Amino acid sequence: MEFHRFLFYASIILSISVYLFPIMANSMGINYGHIADNLPSPEDVVPIVKSIGATKVKLYDADPKVLKAFANTGVEFIVGLGNEYLDKMRDPAKAQAWVKQNVQSHLPATKITCIFVGNEVLTFNDTSLSNSLLPAMQSVHTALVNLGLDKQVTVTTAHSLSILETSYPPSSGAFREDLVDCLSETLSFHQKTGSPFLINAYPFFAYKGNPKQVQLDFVLFQPNQGVIDPATNLHYDNMLYAQIDAVYNALASLGYKKLPVHISETGWPSKGDEDEVGATPDNAKKYNGNLIKLMSKKTGTPMRPNSDLNIYVFALFNENMKPGPTSERNYGLFKPDGTPAYSLGISSTSNVAGSNTTTGGTNGKPLSPIPTPPSTPTSSSTGYLSISPATQGRYEFVGTVLLASLILTKMLLW
């Protein structure tokens, strides 16, 4: 891609961003992956991030070129420590060396506010990783304390929704029994250090796994009748909110009702293989466009209406070197040349599911209670497991997680 051509497109994006993204939420975050050989330089990415109104960026590493490019921009960063570093980070000396090199050296010019240690570790079925997670988090936090950075930089980890045993209805959300002990220790760490609980949520996988039974409008935030949680009488008209509230309930059941929940990944692919039903530009436009509208309203979920939605959209660019099905390379809001992968078409919030979330019915009509879910599905779905080293070559790969936990399809087999 020629540099001048890229600047041309970037200038167009900036000039029309006021019209394309007039109601962007100040809290909007974006995942910035690098698994491609044709992406623009970090310096050229800065105006693209600003064009969509994103004020937060999540990296899967601590790429110094990216962090330097965003210096003095005011954009907040979450930087990542890949799963392959967990064992090493158990050593406090090595953790402090990493923090000095990858975090302290960029402060205060680049606004690094959080380090996420490991990604979806507890559902990776690797005991060595799981056993290293909390010690690594503790070592990194101790390093921040020693360097006087713990008041401005928190430490957390990102989880898959598969850590839930049940999510149906949201009021019955509960963690897997085999993970409760490990999670309880991690949650105690979050509470003591003031760090958020990160969850990766993809309604797309629920639709992809069972398109005949999962209502498309419900997963795309399109107008629909919605459903009622019979235990709380709360009305849900989109799957993501139901998934988030299931996590809130699971946390509350362990005594962590006030712990903040951030959605560290969610998105929709604009292209997929023949068997990836729903992976189209139109559906991606609806999902991400409607999601951004909801974020701009600064309202929470039915269970937590006064809690801001802290959501990181996946992803900034299509990444041509990601393995797996075609969808994995087509989650980007932008193509590598800086042009939009599709128009988000944001103009108003009047026809977005979730924009007027209440208890009871819709348009004066009563809603049916959530029907009894079917038996445990035997299909599988693809979830992200990002392993991105900060100082060597970066890579992410897709891990397959079973839906035995009923997380992805049971939310709308209703």
For residue 8, what are its two tokens? 């041309």
Q: How distant, in Å, are the alpha carbons of 1, 88, 122 from that of 95?
A: 38, 8, 21
Helix %, strand %, coil % of the chain (to 5) = 35, 15, 45
DSSP assignments along 251-317, one per residue: HHHTT-TT--EEEEEE---S---TT-TT-SHHHHHHHHHHHHHHHHTT---SSSTTS--EEEES-SB
Name residue 220's amino acid: L
396 is catalytic: no
Cβ-contact 239, 203 below 8 angstroms:
yes
Note the Cα 185 to chain centre separation in Å. 23
Which residues, at least 6 apart from 20, have a Cβ–Cβ distance to it below 8 Å?
340, 343, 344, 346
Which burial class, exposed, middle or buried, applies to 349 when counting CB atoms under 10 A from its CB (0-12, 13-18, 19+)?
middle
Which residues, at least 6 apart from 372, have a Cβ–Cβ distance to it below 8 Å?
none
Tally Cβ neighbours within 10 Å of residue 179: 18
Which of these is catalytic: 76, 165, 265, 396? 265
For residue 338, what are its two tokens? 């800086």
Cβ-contact 407, 159 below 8 angstroms:
no
Helix crossing, 92-102 with 127-146: angle to 10°?
60
Cβ-contact 335, 341 below 8 angstroms:
yes
For residue 222, what are its two tokens? 């399109």
For residue 365, what are its two tokens? 């009509």
What phi and psi, each to the nearest 5 degrees, are found at residue 389?
-65, 150
165 is catalytic: no
Q: Return d(Cα 79, Cα 93) in angstroms, integer.
A: 19
Q: Return d(Cα 250, Cα 253) in angstroms, integer.
A: 5
Residues annotated as catalytic (active site), given as ranges: 120, 265
